[in-house]
Each structure stands twice: as C-alpha cells, then as structure tokens.
Amino acid sequence: MCGRYVLVQKIELIEKRFNVTAPADFAYRPSYNISPGNYAPVITSENPRQLDLFRFGMIPFWAKKPMALINARSEGDHNAEDHPGYSGAKGIITKPSFRKPIRSQRCLVIADCFIEGTTKEKLSKPYVVYLREGERPFAFAGIWDRWANPETGEIIGSFAIITTTANELLQNIPHHRSPVILPRHLEQAWLSNDLPLSDVTAMLKPYPAELMNAYPIDPAIRNPRTEGPQLLKPVGQRLSPEFDTKSRKDVNLQGMGMNKRLKEGEGLLEFEI
C-alpha cells in the first residue's frame, strides 16, 4: 500500500510542471508526512487545468458515513497473494467503490517521493522511495469522488492512490505492493474521459525499478502529526548505488531545507523549496 508521501515543492513549480493554475484561495501547505485525512494537491479529470485540494482517503459518494479508502487495488479481488508477475484481469473496474471513478473520475496525485514500510514490520521499518535523476514532482494515478455529509451538508472531495504489483525495487525493501506512478507522457491521457477503458487499465502497471531508488529512515514518521525534513534523514544506505564511490570521497547534498555534509550514499534527497 501507499499510505504516506511527501510534497514540499513551491506552488509555482507545481503549476509550471503540470501546466495548471492554483485558485487564489488555494490553502496548500508543503508536507513531509502526508497521511490519510490530510488535504493535498490533485489535478482531476473534471478540472484538468486547475489544482484542487482533496482529502487523502476516498469516500464513495454512496457512503452512509465517513470512510477513507486510501488505496485502490488495480487487480481488485484478484491476485490475493500479490504475485509480482500477475498479468490477469484488472478487477478495479468492477469494485463498487471504484468502478465509476476509474471510468470517469481519475486524478493526478502530486508527490516528491513516498514512504513505504516492509511487508511485515510496516512503518516500524520505513523507506523513502523516490525517482532517480531528480524526477520530482511526479504523479501517482489516482481516482476521486465527492461525498455529501448527511448531517452537515458539507461536500468533501477525496482521492485514493491506485496500487499494483511490486516492482523489483519494492520487492527488495521488501514490500508486496507499489503505487502506480504515471510517466510524464501519459499524465494528460490519464485525465481524459475520452480514453477507452482498456487503455486506462493498461496504464496500471509498476514503474520501472531501474528509474527508482530507496533508503531507510527513522520510524518517527509513523506518527502522522510529525513534520519536518529530519523525517527523511537516512539511517542506512540506498538500496541501489547511484554514483562511483571510488571517484568521490564525499558529496554535499541539500535535503529538503537542510544542508548536510554527509558521507557518500547517505545524502538526503535534494529538493527545491
């Protein structure tokens, strides 16, 4: 599953990257620990040129009371064993909570990186997972819905991140699932309601493992109320090396608002904030 992620980019950079505009009253707050129940930026198929703030954890329109579906399995009820080689039916198209959103209520969920724990220890042993070559922000494939609170009349826009089988990098954590990350050239197609359903489900596959990397962090991030760049400080080595350790003794990396002189392989992610 994908239950925590990070987005700390300036709003102007997000607008430029996705060719969208934020409303004048857009109450965006950068966060190192976006958790279920938090509001975060999305781009919906309804308003593909505008940034919206929706709640993480989708509430289906038909729900009688609040709920939070943070992830939507692309396989639906199939592949219960989470076999990484699964290539069968995309059961998401028949699940009651998801069958309408996957057809006409899709969104881009904007992120810099995400947090994943091991399958057994979960967020007691968390990792930061990011895209190589400074590819951030990027977009998860998401679905959205609106729900009217029957007691207050409040309308809540909310979203879920679609997950698929784990690629080789996620398997090495080890974790049994992976969020669907959309390549740039498919982002606009994902938002198009003219796209055949077969083309939509064809996008629900793992992102190439060789374009990703991960490193372990402190389990303090388990607390959804904790914030700050210290949450992403490494406590171990990257899963895959990214540069030649023979040619450089150390590297100066700027991480999420913190300047550190760290040994090679231990640097924080470099973000522009």
What is the per-residue pLDDT across 81-126, written as a single tens digit (0 to 9) for each? 999 999 999 999 999 999 999 999 999 999 999 999 999 999 999 9
Pairing of strands 71-73, 155-165: parallel
The label of the residue with tokens 């409303």 reads: 23
The answer to whether the CB of 183 falls within 8 A of the CB of 139 is no
User: How much of the chain, in percent, has pLDDT values that exceed 90?
Assistant: 88
Q: What is the pTM of this model?
A: 0.90
Closest CA to 180 of 221, 144, 208: 208
Give the tokens for residue 244: 């030649």
The answer to whether the CB of 18 falls within 8 A of the CB of 43 is yes
Q: Please give the biggest Cα pair distance in the chain.
A: 64
Given pLDDT bands bounded at 50, 70 and 90, which one contains residue 267?
Answer: very low
DSSP strand E in 35-84: where?
A: 39-44, 52-56, 71-73
pLDDT of residue 271: 52
Tens-digit pLDDT profile for residues 32-66: 999 999 999 999 999 999 999 999 999 999 999 99
Given pLDDT bands bounded at 50, 70 and 90, which one contains residue 266?
Answer: very low
Report the residue count for the chain: 273
Q: Where are the domains of the chain?
A: 4-226
User: What's the CATH number of domain 4-226, 2.40.37.10, 3.90.1680.10, 1.10.645.10, 3.60.20.10?
Assistant: 3.90.1680.10
